[in-house]
């Protein structure tokens, strides 16, 4: 039990010692912190939204509108204050094929359908299944995510040459960029030691940007990515045919995007909850994400979900209430409408430095030391999820991690089934087998191998007081053992089975002994299945 506590507490021990109350009050001081934190997040959102728009094959404003709309709605109605949502790379890589084959209007229609599916997931409370994600999967998830964020920043160390190809920076420009990144990281580290009145990332971005602008240092800036100036997003129904053929095209993409978006959002919800001390809200987050994507689809946005990197910037900057996320979205809109010229002057090196600090804060460094103390199977899951997150995507990594964890659990549980034999105290000449461990599909075969009807006496008793019959495979295994004893002409009695086991096994004519202390659990099986057909009964 101690090792699971260690894994579960990794976030608290790594990053934040003081946990916020369930409902953080918006005091004047907290409001100031939230607004400044929102400004910091908005500055970091700009290059991310533009980059992900390029990945998806759409205009930069499509990504920026998504970041604004999704961020505003989820911050207002989402399940976890402090979370930041917007356009993400996990969704963009799925969208690129749709846009390339069918155009951006089909993307908008897909985003609307994606939102509807997410709302349905919230209504039917499917978010509760995130409880099934084991802690080793969460560790692998945050580690893999940190690596992905780090690798994404390396693109900012590239430039476009005269032939249009991307090449790595070199010479003085590379060293200047590295120096500015290092300076940004140093300022983020040092600022809290001097003052906590202003979020450290905002101080770092402001000072480094001022240095670059005043001395006209030749480095890549936000404006080199794209022109972010635009107007208010306009309402428009996606221009696609409303027929079954359109549904056939967009439905598979919508299902994949909805699943990826919810998985990333709910994992972020859990991670932010560990840091801020808040719980619950999964269904509310599903509905908020769905509503946000429906709206952004009708206003020319590419859709989105929770952004873990920006969420970490927010909570580490002190953002705790909904005001932080709302401020980030509104600041982003202000950038688009009025301040694009100023924002485009910010050096990318400053934003890269901020994201590198996010990487350092997100990676569960202590998990490396824990690898020597936790079971090897848990260590394998951590490494596997980390690798799959980096090589494939988050959704696949989580699914793989959960499946592997379930298989490991089933294997370990299957090895626990045992049968200890001893003479019966109540029936002379009879042998009693005390069954211990769960009897289910994984242990059914081993259970059957525990008995030798040919060498056993004429009367045998199987006592399930220390066991639990879990599923239909377990009933099948009991039937098979009973059939072997029946074929050998010997009597088999079953004790301490639950009442529903009595009902099902009695159809096969088994001799079940009613006990006053029979358990009352129910097995996970279909009561309509007639097990009496097995074994010739």
In a domain, 187, yes or no: no
In a domain, 351, yes or no: no
Rounded to whole angstroms, how far apart are CA atoms 223 and 407? 50
Nearest residue to 346 (alpha-carbon basis) of 248, 430, 234, 221: 221
Percentage of the chain lying above the pLDDT 90 cut: 54
One DSSP character per residue, 151-216 reads HHHGGGGEEE-TTS-EEE--HHHHHHHHHHHHHHHHHHHHHHHH-SSS-HHHHHHHHHHHHHHHTT
In a domain, 310, yes or no: yes
Rounded to whole angstroms, how far apart are CA atoms 307 and 84? 6
Rounded to whole angstroms, how far apart are CA atoms 488 and 509? 16
Q: Check pLDDT > 80 for residue 417.
A: yes
Query: Is there a single domain that holds both residue 373 and residue 503?
Result: no
Instruction: Please compute the mean of the pLDDT values over residues 150-163 and round it to a whole number.
Output: 82
Q: What is the 3-state composition of the chain as percent helix, strand, coil, each rounded to the nearest 5?
A: 65, 10, 30
Task: Print the domain residue range for 448.
Answer: 418-536
Rounded to whole angstroms, how far apart are CA atoms 399 and 389? 11
Nearest residue to 312 (alpha-carbon basis) of 273, 270, 361: 361
Q: What is the token pair recorded at 276?
A: 């801020």
DSSP 3-state of 491: strand
Instruction: Please compute the mean of the pLDDT values over residues 412-439 and round it to a whole number.
Output: 91
Query: Is there a single domain that holds both residue 315 and residue 435?
Result: no
Segment 369-379, tens digit of pLDDT: 888 888 888 99
Q: What is the pLDDT of residue 454?
A: 92
Which pairs with CB-CB distance under 8 Å and at least 24 residues apart come from 166-174? 173/218, 173/219
Give, to the nearest 10 degrees, the angle between helix 171-194 and helix 200-214: 140
DSSP 3-state of 486: helix
Rounded to whole angstroms, how far apart are CA atoms 305 and 288? 10
Query: Is there a single domain that holds both residue 141 and residue 284?
Result: yes
Alpha carbon distance, N-terminus to C-terminus of the chain: 45
Residues 6+ apart with CB under 8 A from 534: 476, 479, 480, 483, 508
Query: Is there a single domain that holds both residue 233 and residue 378?
Result: yes
Query: Is there a single domain that holds both residue 433 and residue 370?
Result: no
Q: What is the pLDDT of residue 459?
A: 93
Q: Check pLDDT > 50 for residue 157.
A: yes
Which pairs with CB-CB distance under 8 Å and at least 24 residues apart come from 122-127? 122/283, 122/284, 122/285, 122/286, 122/287, 122/288, 122/290, 123/283, 123/287, 125/282, 125/283, 126/262, 126/286, 127/262, 127/266, 127/282, 127/283, 127/285, 127/286
Q: Check pLDDT > 60 for residue 10.
A: no
Query: Is there a single domain that holds both residue 333 and residue 433?
Result: no
Q: What is the pLDDT of residue 22?
A: 45
Query: Is there a single domain that holds both residue 466 and residue 528?
Result: yes
Segment 344-382, tens digit of pLDDT: 999 999 999 998 998 898 888 888 888 888 888 899 999
In a domain, 24, yes or no: no
Rounded to whole angstroms, how far apart are CA atoms 111 and 300? 10
70-96 burial: b if 16+ Cβ within 10 Å, else e: bbbbbbbebbbbbbbbbbbbbbbebbe
Segment 438-474, tens digit of pLDDT: 999 999 999 999 999 999 999 999 999 899 888 889 8
Rounded to whole angstroms, how far apart are CA atoms 216 and 305? 37
| CA 81 and chain centroid, separation | 17
525 versus 302: the higher-pLDDT residue is: 302
Q: What is the pLDDT of residue 206?
A: 94
Q: What is the pLDDT of residue 350?
A: 93
Q: What is the pLDDT of residue 524?
A: 45
Residues 6+ apart with CB under 8 A from 522: 498, 500
Nearest residue to 304 (alpha-carbon basis) of 57, 154, 94: 94
Say if strands 418-423 and 491-495 run parallel, antiparallel, or are unpaired.
unpaired
Instruction: Please compute the mean of the pLDDT values over residues 18-24 and round it to a whole number.
Output: 44
In a domain, 498, yes or no: yes
Q: What is the pLDDT of residue 517?
A: 57
CATH code of residue 440: 3.30.750.24
Instruction: Please compute the mean of the pLDDT values over residues 265-287 and round it to a whole number.
Output: 86
Q: Check pLDDT > 50 for residue 4.
A: no
Least confident interval from 141-150, 313-322, 522-531: 522-531
Q: What is the pLDDT of residue 440?
A: 92
Q: How many domains does the chain have?
A: 2
Question: How long, in residues, is the chain?
Answer: 537
What is the maximum span of the chain, computed from C-alpha positions, in angstroms?
A: 99
Q: Check pLDDT > 90 for residue 3.
A: no
Query: Is there a single domain that holds both residue 527 and residue 456?
Result: yes
Query: Is there a single domain that holds both residue 59 and residue 109?
Result: yes
Compute the CA torsion angle 202, 337, 82, 3 (nearest 10 deg). -70
Rounded to whole angstroms, how far apart are CA atoms 292 and 93? 20
209 versus 396: the higher-pLDDT residue is: 209
* 222: number of Cβ within 10 Å: 24
Query: Is there a single domain that holds both residue 89 and residue 236?
Result: yes
Query: Is there a single domain that holds both residue 260 and residue 396?
Result: yes
Q: What is the pLDDT of residue 23?
A: 56
In a domain, 174, yes or no: no
Rounded to whole angstroms, how far apart are CA atoms 274 and 115? 27
In terms of Cβ atoms closer than 10 Å to its own Cβ (0-12, 13-18, 19+), residue 422 is exposed
Distances in Å between the alpha carbon of 250 and those of 108, 122, 369, 415?
Answer: 10, 21, 45, 46
Q: Binning pLDDT at 50, 70 and 90, where does residue 521 land?
A: low
Q: Check pLDDT > 70 for residue 533.
A: no
Q: What is the pLDDT of residue 213?
A: 95
Q: What is the pLDDT of residue 506?
A: 53
Q: What is the pLDDT of residue 472?
A: 85
Q: What is the pLDDT of residue 514?
A: 60
502 versus 157: the higher-pLDDT residue is: 157
In a domain, 10, yes or no: no
Distances in Å between the alpha carbon of 418 and those of 96, 215, 312, 415, 451?
Answer: 54, 76, 48, 8, 10
Q: Check pLDDT > 70 for residue 113.
A: yes
Instruction: Please compute the mean of the pLDDT values over residues 327-334 and round it to a whole number.
Output: 96
In a domain, 388, yes or no: yes
Q: Binning pLDDT at 50, 70 and 90, where does residue 535 land?
A: very low
Instruction: Please compute the mean of the pLDDT values over residues 388-392 and round it to a whole number.
Output: 87
Query: Is there a single domain that holds both residue 238 and residue 337?
Result: yes
């Amino acid at each position: 039990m101690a090792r699971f506590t260690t894994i579960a507490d990794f976030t608290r021990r790594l990053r934040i010692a003081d946990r916020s109350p369930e409902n953080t009050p918006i005091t004047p001081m907290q409001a100031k912190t939230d607004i400044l934190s929102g400004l910091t997040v908005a500055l970091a959102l700009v290059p991310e939204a533009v980059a992900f728009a390029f990945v998806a094959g759409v205009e930069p404003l499509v990504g920026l509108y998504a970041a604004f709309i999704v961020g505003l709605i989820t911050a207002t109605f989402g399940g976890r204050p402090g979370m930041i949502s917007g356009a993400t790379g996990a969704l963009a890589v799925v969208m690129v094929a749709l846009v390339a084959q069918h155009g951006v209007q089909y993307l908008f229609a897909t985003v609307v359908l994606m939102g509807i599916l997410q709302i349905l997931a919230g209504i039917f409370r499917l978010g509760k299944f995130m409880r099934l994600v084991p802690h080793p999967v969460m560790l692998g998830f945050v580690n893999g995510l940190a690596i992905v964020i780090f690798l994404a920043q390396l693109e900012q160390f590239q430039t476009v040459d005269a032939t249009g190809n991307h090449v790595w920076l070199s010479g003085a420009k590379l060293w200047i960029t590295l120096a500015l990144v290092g300076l940004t990281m140093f300022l983020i580290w040092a600022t809290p030691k001097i003052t906590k009145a202003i979020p450290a990332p905002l101080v770092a971005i402001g000072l480094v940007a001022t240095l670059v602008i005043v001395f006209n240092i030749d480095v890549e800036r936000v404006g080199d990515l794209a022109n972010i100036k635009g107007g208010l997003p306009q309402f428009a129904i996606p221009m696609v045919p409303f027929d079954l053929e359109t549904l056939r095209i967009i439905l598979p993409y919508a299902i994949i995007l909805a699943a990826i978006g919810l998985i990333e959002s709910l994992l972020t919800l859990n991670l932010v909850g560990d840091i801020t001390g808040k719980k619950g809200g999964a269904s509310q987050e599903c509905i908020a994400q769905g509503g946000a994507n429906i709206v952004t689809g009708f206003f020319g946005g590419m859709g989105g979900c929770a952004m873990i990197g920006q969420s970490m910037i927010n909570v580490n900057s002190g953002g705790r209430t909904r005001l932080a996320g709302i401020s980030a979205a509104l600041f982003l809109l202000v950038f688009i409408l009025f301040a694009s010229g100023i924002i485009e002057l910010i050096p990318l090196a400053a934003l890269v430095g901020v994201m590198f600090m996010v990487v350092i804060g997100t990676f569960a460094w202590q998990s490396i030391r824990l690898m020597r103390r936790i079971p090897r199977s848990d260590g394998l899951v951590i490494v596997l999820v980390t690798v799959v997150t980096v090589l494939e995507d988050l959704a696949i990594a989580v699914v793989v991690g959960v499946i592997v964890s379930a298989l490991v659990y089933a294997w370990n549980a299957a090895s626990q089934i045992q049968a200890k034999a001893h003479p019966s105290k109540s029936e002379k000449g009879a042998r009693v087998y005390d069954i211990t461990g769960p009897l289910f599909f994984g242990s059914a075969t081993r259970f059957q191998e525990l008995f030798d009807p040919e060498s056993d006496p004429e009367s045998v008793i199987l006592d399930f007081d220390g066991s639990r019959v879990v599923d239909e495979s377990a009933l099948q295994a009991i039937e098979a053992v009973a059939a072997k004893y029946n074929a050998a002409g010997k009597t088999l009695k079953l004790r301490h089975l639950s009442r529903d086991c009595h009902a099902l096994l009695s159809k096969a004519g088994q001799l079940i002994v009613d006990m006053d202390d029979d358990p009352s659990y129910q097995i996970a099986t279909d009561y309509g299945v007639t097990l009496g057909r097995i074994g010739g009964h």
